[in-house]
Chain A
């Protein structure tokens, strides 16, 4: 968690609360990178592919994201636009072959694969549900990969995960009262993968990241502006515990060198959101009844296709498209994360500045269909407000890679 304090990680994007692919070259390809061994980012996208890396490498950069959201209330027919700030997620990958044949590679991946920060105006219609909800995560993954033969390599890593949670809302039972929930915690998981090559032209890769349960037992809930006669129900400050579920992900992809200049990548992902049944807030010593917000997420698929064309010896152009399914069911669309299926496109550039240095940049735009949220006044476990949501998202990334 100390690391979290230094790195202000955040972001919000499609496919549940996954952030953008944390690498500018990969983002430029629409996220299709499971079978690619381009730089040390393979440690994250497929530890198996890391075994086929040519040289020691450090890659770092930043992805930036802007999610636009608008809500139209089914009751008042009023539109509310969410406060969309620009949010940035830095990442760092380093890989070092240990032997002269470069068969054994150790690597470190640091990134923020899950995050969101949804902010609605303080006085909007759903203010008693939510004014702001933020989840941040930091994954630190020491990794080792081994190339068994020229055509096959395997790899795996341990994911050390820190995450924090913030929720602010008005305590709408009273005038001018508010509630704030703050918690953080740690978890652990693993990431494994394989990569195979059939000749020089075709590669395939499969990777699997485990789910990570982040136990947050040290949360603090603060209630302010509560009339003093009611503080027995809403104490000024109380501890609480909750658990965040970071989902597993299975990815399979192929990478085809169509010609010397043109590469085509395909990736299929299945993200195991279905572990995320509900978010339960349990107050210490039961000072308040536990609050259970139904999530009932379902597993979600994503399809990604990317292409890279070597325009000049030092300049590559990239493009990709993706379809990223939302894990959020119709009956559980809530203002904390009114997610929707996203169809997106990406473009990118890679510039080999020197033999050692490569610069990359990428831009992506994702469009979502309208989602209808229903609210049921008799249903206390779905913190929903009835209406329609529309989202869109712009993202960008810049990257610097140094090859030793």
Chain B
């Protein structure tokens, strides 16, 4: 039997010739910096910009801060180095840690360690005392970092000389983290530092930090709530000064409604319903005058207390003989509850006439297209509804939802990646002015919220 070998061989040759893989070499990826010069991106803001997470500043929080994630994508489009004043690997400023779960799978929170020991306490003895951490000076102090997010920086402090000078330590005109990034004994104002950084592109995120002292203390500290003008006047001046820097472009980040944050989304009525109580309107709270009163329907219980309600323990986790919050003998503390009136006041500071969002919107509109206002309201609202991203489901549960941290308002690494993506989307949306197309982050590749 003579097999016609050459015919079969030519068949095999045909097969090997066509052995190519499919590819996209004929289509370039869709990416362009448009009219933006991303060579020196500078992030301006407070806790959120700095990478504070779970009421704690740590190196991981800084590395997953939304500006650092944005800068990572900007580098694909010719963006420059993004320098952050990083803490040491094990340094952190306390904050929440997850200690376990209740039988109903509700998270229990405790406080993490503070590694900066020589801290100064302002207003010692008062429930509203404030710790000024003794950060070691940044090793590159003198150089200006790209991330100018300063934890605890208030809008009223943007133009204060000496804010970063050690001599002012122990006063309210001092910010320890700001001192960390300045050379010794520098009186430079925050705004002067921004100018000296000679940015080509900025993001500006302010306001939430100013409101947080009030929110997190249930309205007991930082009160009365700063008036609209107290917030918008310095913010407007900051915007004007930035717009005055020739050829600088930037984005003003709007704030979400306070009530869209998980920290403030548990109302008395919703929690009573969840606990199956017949009294759906009230719980008991020890108010500032020392009387135990009933809460009202739409009062909000701050997130860290939610899992303790109904347990035989008090606000600090000590055993009690009556269920927490549900019995006059074991009431909530004043600082655990934000009244419904305070919530609507907060929302007014954020998004109403003479509010943070409004002034940013107006300033952007008057910038001749060099600055845009990014409305993140829809982004926060959609988080509350939940999202499904490449097979991972995200929602606003602060422990298992994957987006928020235990504190209920800062973002996990994945949450910050989602925020960075939302910013990138909004920048592309306004391509009339910038024409920018930045590749998005693979959100799921960032660390998940660690669980026991």
Chain A residues at the B interface, C-beta cutoff of 8 Å: 68-70, 72-73, 75-79, 81, 84, 123, 125-130, 169, 172-175, 227-230, 232, 314-315, 317, 347-349, 351, 353-354, 357, 359, 361-363, 365, 368, 375, 377-380, 383, 385, 388, 390-392, 394, 396
- Chain A residues with CB below 8 A from B18, complex form: 365, 394
Q: Smallest distance from the beta carbon of B39 to chain A beta carbons, Å?
A: 21
Contact yes or no, B440 A75, CB < 8 A: yes
Q: Are B22 and A390 in contact (CB under 8 A)?
A: yes
Q: Tell me the residues in window 35-52 of chain B with beta carbons closer than 8 Å to chain A beta carbons.
A: none
Decide if A377 touches B21 in the complex (CB within 8 Å).
no
Whether A125 pairs with B390 at a CB distance below 8 angstroms is yes
Give the residue of A77, A347, A396 whose beta carbon is less than 8 angstroms from that of B30. Answer: A77
Please report the C-alpha to C-alpha distance between residue A354 and residue B3 in the assembled complex, in whole angstroms: 10
- Subset of 20 A-B contacts with CB under 8 Å: A70-B22, A75-B439, A76-B441, A125-B390, A127-B444, A128-B390, A128-B391, A172-B390, A175-B448, A175-B450, A227-B450, A230-B451, A232-B105, A315-B4, A347-B11, A351-B8, A362-B11, A377-B389, A378-B388, A380-B393
CB distance from B383 to the nearest CB of A (A): 10
Instruction: Name the residue on B nearest A363 (C-beta).
Output: B15
Query: Across the interface, do B390 and A126 meet the contact criterion of CB distance under 8 Å?
Result: yes
B101 within 8 A of A: yes
Contact B21 A68 (CB under 8 A): yes
Q: Report A-chain residues with C-beta under 8 Å of the C-beta of B7.
A: 315, 317, 349, 351
Assess the B421–A75 pair: CB atoms within 8 A. Answer: yes
A229 to B101, CA, bound (A): 7
**How distant is A354 from chain B, measured CB to nearest CB, in Å?**
6
The residues of B that contact A368 with a CB separation of less than 8 Å are 22
**Additional A-B contacts beyond A128-B392, A232-B105, A363-B14 (5; CB < 8 A):** A75-B421, A230-B451, A353-B3, A368-B22, A377-B387
* CA gap between A180 and B393 in the complex, in Å: 18
B1 touches A353 (CB 8 A): yes
Q: Using known A-B contacts A172-B444, A227-B452, determine if residue A70 contacts B385 with beta carbons closer than 8 Å.
A: no
Residue of A nearest to B27 (CB): A72
B402 within 8 A of A: yes
Cβ-closest 5 pairs across A and B: A128-B391, A129-B391, A77-B29, A227-B451, A172-B392
B29 and A392 contact, CB distance less than 8 A: no
Determine if A349 and B8 form an interchain contact, defined as CB atoms under 8 angstroms apart.
yes
User: What's the nearest-Cβ distance from chain A to residue B418, in Å?
Assistant: 10
B31 at the A/B interface (Cβ < 8 Å)? Answer: yes
Is B11 a contact of A354 with CB atoms below 8 Å? no
Residues of B within 8 A of A126 (CB): 390-391
Asked if B15 and A359 sit within 8 Å, CB to CB, the answer is no
Residues of chain B within 8 A (CB-CB) of A175 are 447-448, 450
Work out how many contacts link A and B, with CB atoms closer than 8 A.
131
**Contacts A175-B448, A315-B7; A394 near B1 (Cβ below 8 A):** no
Within 8 A of A (CB), among B165-183: none
Q: How many whole Å from B394's CB to the nearest CB in chain A?
A: 9
Q: Report the separation of the CA atoms of residues A57 and B101 in the bound assembly, to the nearest whole angstrom.
A: 70
Question: B429 at the A/B interface (Cβ < 8 Å)?
Answer: no
Closest CB-CB distance, A66 to chain B, in whole Å? 8
Interface check B118, CB cutoff 8 A:
no
Contact partners of A78 in chain B: CB under 8 A = 439, 442
CA distance A228 to B100 in the complex (A): 11
Query: Does B279 reach chain A (CB closer than 8 Å)?
Result: no
Q: Whole-angstrom distance between the alpha carbons of A72 and B77 in the complex?
A: 18
B400 touches A (CB below 8 Å): yes
Contact, CB under 8 Å: A378 / B387: yes
Give the docked Cα–Cα distance between A349 and B3 (Å): 11
Contacting pair A361 B11 (CB below 8 A): yes
What 0/1 pattern do residues 368 to 397 of B give for CB contact below 8 A with A? 000000000000001001011111110000
Give the complex CA separation of A171 and B442 in angstroms. 15
Contacts of A230 in B (CB 8 A): 400, 451
A79 to B116, CA, bound (A): 45
Contact call B391/A130, Cβ cutoff below 8 A: yes
CB distance from B416 to the nearest CB of A (A): 16
User: Which residue of B has the minimal Cβ distance to A230?
Assistant: B451
**Do residues A385 and B390 form an inter-chain contact, with CB atoms below 8 A?**
yes
A75 touches B442 (CB 8 A): yes
B439 touches A72 (CB 8 A): no
Q: Is the CB of A378 within 8 A of B385?
A: yes
Cα–Cα distance between A41 and B4 once the two chains are bound (Å): 24
Tell yes or no: B19 within 8 A of A by CB. Answer: yes
The answer to whether A174 touches B4 (Cβ under 8 A) is no
Residues on B with C-beta less than 8 A from A227 are 450-452
Complex CA–CA separation, A203 to B447 (angstroms): 65
B23 within 8 Å of A by Cβ?
yes
Whether B439 and A77, one on each chain, are in contact in the complex, defined by CB atoms closer than 8 angstroms, is: yes
Interfacial chain B residues near A394, Cβ < 8 Å: 15, 18-19
Q: How far is the CB of A373 from chain B (nearest CB, A)?
A: 11
Q: Decide yes or no: A76 and B3 within 8 Å by CB, A69-B22, A174-B448, A390-B22 being known contacts.
A: no
A residues less than 8 Å from B30 (CB atoms): 77
Shortest CB-to-CB span from B178 to chain A, Å, is: 34
List chain A residues, Cβ under 8 A from B382.
377-378
Query: What's the least CB distance linking B285 to chain A, in Å?
Result: 30
Of A72, A174, A385, A388, which is in contact with the most chain B CB atoms at under 10 Å from its CB? A174
Nearest-Cβ distance from residue B12 to partner chain A, whole angstroms: 8
User: Which residues on A sit within 8 Å (CB–CB) of B19?
Assistant: 394
Task: Give the CA-CA distance A233 to B388 in the complex, in Å.
Answer: 17
In chain A, what residue has the closest Cβ to B392? A172
A375 touches B390 (CB 8 A): yes
A365: which B residues are within 8 A, CB to CB?
18
Determine whether the beta carbon of B24 is less than 8 Å from that of A70: yes
CB neighbours of B400 from chain A (8 A): 173, 230
